[in-house]
Amino acid sequence: MVKDPVCGMTIDPKTAAGKSEYKGETYYFCSAGCKKSFDAKPEEYAGKSKEGSSHGCC
Write out 13-54 in H/E/C secondary structure: HHHCCEEEEECCEEEEECCHHHHHHHHHCHHHHCCCCCCCCC
41 in any annotated domain:
yes
By residue range, what is the domain housing residue 26? 2-45
Q: What is the pLDDT of residue 53?
A: 46
Q: How many domains does the chain have?
A: 1
Using the 8-state DSSP alphabet, how is residue 57 labeled? -
In a domain, 56, yes or no: no
pLDDT tens column, 1-55: 999 999 999 999 999 999 999 999 999 999 999 999 999 999 999 976 544 445 5
b (16+ CB within 10 A) / e for 8-41: bbebeeeebebebeeeeeebbbbbebbbebbeee
Within a domain: 26? yes
What is the predicted pLDDT for the residue at 19?
97
